[in-house]
Amino acid sequence: MNPIKTALRLTLAVAASLVVEDALAQSTECPSVAARPGQRYLVAISDLHFGLGRRSGGAWDPREDFRWSGALRGFLDRISRCGADRVDLVVAGDMLELWQPPDSIECVGARDDLGCTLEQMTRITQAVTAAHTDDLKALGRFASRGDNHLFLVPGNHDAALLLEGPWQLVHAAMEASANRATRVDSGVWVSPDGKVVIEHGHQIGQDVNNFAKWPAITERIDGVDYLVRPWGERFVQKIFNEQELVYSIIDNLSPEAAGVRYRMADRGLWSSIDDLARFLAFNVFETSLAQKAQFLGGNQDPNAPPPPWDLKIGRGFGHLLFVDALPVDDPFRASLLADTPESSKLRTALDAMARDENRLTDAEVEMLCDQIAIRTSGKRRCQDESLGALAQQLLRSKRAVLTEHLQGRLAQSGLRQMRVFVYAHTHELEEAWPVQVTDLRSVMVLNTGAFQRVINEDGFLSRAKAKNLPPAEALRQLTPEDLPPCYTAVVVAFGDALPEAQTVRWHMEEGKPGGFVNVGNAACN
C-alpha cells in the first residue's frame, strides 16, 4: 500500500475522532429551550422510517434506514428527564416505512394510482412491527413513564396507520399504558391552547406525495379497497426500492434528489422520459431558504409578491428548462448535454415535454424557473428582460407556498391561535424562521429534519473525497453506518407568553453516551 495514502487515511481517522470528541465536549444535558414550571414539554421528531430490519442471516436489509435503537432509547430517556416526565412527544409522520414491502408482497393496484389492498398493507405492517419490536416497545415505555404522552401523526410513507388494522398492530406492539399512545386521525396535531400546529408536510403546496382527499387514503374498485398511491410513492417504488439494494444510502442524502443524480451518473439515464422530467422538478420545494436568500441578498423583502414568471418563455427554453435547474457541476447535467445519441434523444424528448401542458404542469414550470434563477444567479430567468425591477422581487419560493398553506390552516376551526408551525417530510432540518401569514399574524416555522442518519450533499462529497472515491462509487460503497450519528428534533416550551421553539440535534453513537449539540456542530456534517 502507498505509505503516503496510508498516512493520509490515518490522519483523517484521527481528525474524525477529534471531531467526535469535540462534539461531546460541546454537548448539553438538555436543550436550551427548557420546560417551564407547571407547563408540559413538547418534542417533535419524524421520519424514522422503521423498515424491514435484518435478513434471516442477521445482516441488515440494505433498504433499512433505522438501525439506531440505542440512539432512540437514549434520546427518549433524556427528553423525559429534561421535561420532568411531563412530555408530549409528537412523531410527525413516517415512523414506519411501508413503501418498501417484503419481496413476497407485490402490490399491484387496479390502476397506477392505486397500490396495496388492505390485506396486503396489514401484512407489510406486520413485517415492519416484527422487525422493530424493541423500538416500538421503547416508545411505549416512554409513553407510560410519569405523565408522558405519545402522539402519532401519519405521514405519506405510513399513511396506512389511518386504517384500523395497521394501527392496532402498531399500538399493540408499543405495549403502552392505556390512552398514552394516540393516533392523530386528522393528520394535524394541535396543542391544547391551539398555538402549536404539527403535521407531516406532504400536503403542502404541489408536493408529489399529496393525497387528493387526505386523510381519506383508500378507494374501492370492484368491491376491493386499495390504498391510493400518489406519484411520489410510484417514483420511490420504481427507483429507490430497487436501487437501495445496491446503493444503501441513496435516500439518506438530503435532499433525496442528490442521491438519484449520482446513481444516474453511475448507471446511466432512465428510459422513461416522463419520470426523468418529473424527477428534475422533484424536491424543488426542499431548496433551502438559506440558498435562496444568498441569491436574493439580505435586503430583499421576505414577504414581497413573487415575480410574474412568463411560463411561455419558460416552456420555450425546452430541455434547458431542466438542464439549467441543475448545478453546473452536476454529473447528470453533463450527461444530458453530452454529445451522444442517447443524450440527444433525451434532449429532444425534453423539448417536447416542456411544451406539453398535460405532461408538465404550470406549477412545475414555475418551480423550475425558480431553480434556474437561483442556479444562474439571476442571469437567466423565465422573464422578458424589460421587466427590470420586477425581476428583483422574491422568487415564488418556499415562503410563498407556506404562506398559502398556513392561511388555509388559520381559516380552520381550532387553528386560529396558531403561533408555531412544525412540519417534517423533507428530511432537511430548519431552524425557526417567521412567515407573515396575514397582516396581523406572524407564525414561526420549523422543520424537524429526520430522526435517522441523514447527510447533506456537501458532507457526502467530503466523505467521498476522504476515501478517494468518485461520488457515484462512494454512493455504492458507503453505508448508513458511515454517516454522522446525529438525529434531529424540535422542542417547544410553553409559558405565559408565546411558545418558545427550537430545532436541536441529538448526537449519539451506538453504545456510547449521547448529548444535545448545536445544529451546526461539525460532527454532524
Domains of the chain: 3-239+413-465+480-520 (3.60.21.10), 288-392 (no CATH)
Instruction: Identify the pLDDT of residue 400.
Output: 78
Q: Quick one: pLDDT band at residue 68, thresholds 50, 70, 90?
A: very high
CA distance linking residue 245 with residue 62, whole number of Å: 5
Phi, psi of 382 (to 5 degrees): -85, 55
Distances (CA, A) of 128 to 30, 61, 67, 134, 438: 31, 12, 13, 12, 43
Q: Residue 208: CB partners within 8 Å, gap ≥ 6?
A: 230, 231, 232, 235, 278, 282
CA distance linking residue 300 with residue 297, whole number of Å: 6
How many Å separate Cα 56 from the centre of its chain? 30
What integer best gives the mean pLDDT of the chain? 84
Model confidence at 361: pLDDT above 90: no
Residue pair 214/292 in contact (Cβ under 8 Å)? The answer is no
CA distance linking residue 347 with residue 320, whole number of Å: 9
pTM higher than 0.85, yes or no? no
Phi, psi of 506 (to 5 degrees): -105, 120
Which of 90-99, 324-333, 466-475 shows the lowest per-residue confidence on average (mean pLDDT)?
Answer: 324-333
Mean pLDDT within 184-206: 94
Residue pair 206/281 in contact (Cβ under 8 Å)? The answer is no
Instruction: Identify the pLDDT of residue 373.
Output: 81
Question: In degrees to the nearest 10, what's the CA dihedral of 228, 231, 233, 235?
Answer: 150
52-69 burial string, b = 16+ CB within 10 Å, else e? bbeeeeeebbbbbbbbbe
Better-scored residue on pLDDT, 185 or 496: 185
154-163 per-position pLDDT tens digit: 999 999 999 9
Q: Give 491's strand partners.
A: 43, 502
Which grid coordinates belong to 4? Answer: 503516503
171-181 per-position pLDDT tens digit: 999 999 889 99
5-22 per-position pLDDT tens digit: 444 444 444 444 444 455
Distances (CA, A) of 142 to 79, 139, 168, 318: 10, 5, 19, 54
Residue pair 79/85 in contact (Cβ under 8 Å)? The answer is no
What 8-state DSSP symbol labels residue 96?
B
Query: How many C-beta atoms surround the C-beta of residue 312 within 10 A?
Result: 10
CA distance linking residue 493 with residue 260, whole number of Å: 38
225-235 per-position pLDDT tens digit: 999 999 878 87
Distances (CA, A) of 324 to 213, 295, 328, 369, 377: 34, 15, 8, 9, 11
Q: Which amino acid is at 88?
A: D
CA distance linking residue 332 with residue 343, whole number of Å: 10
Helix, strand, coil percentages for the chain (3-state, nearest 5): 40, 15, 45
CA distance linking residue 110 with residue 267, whole number of Å: 31
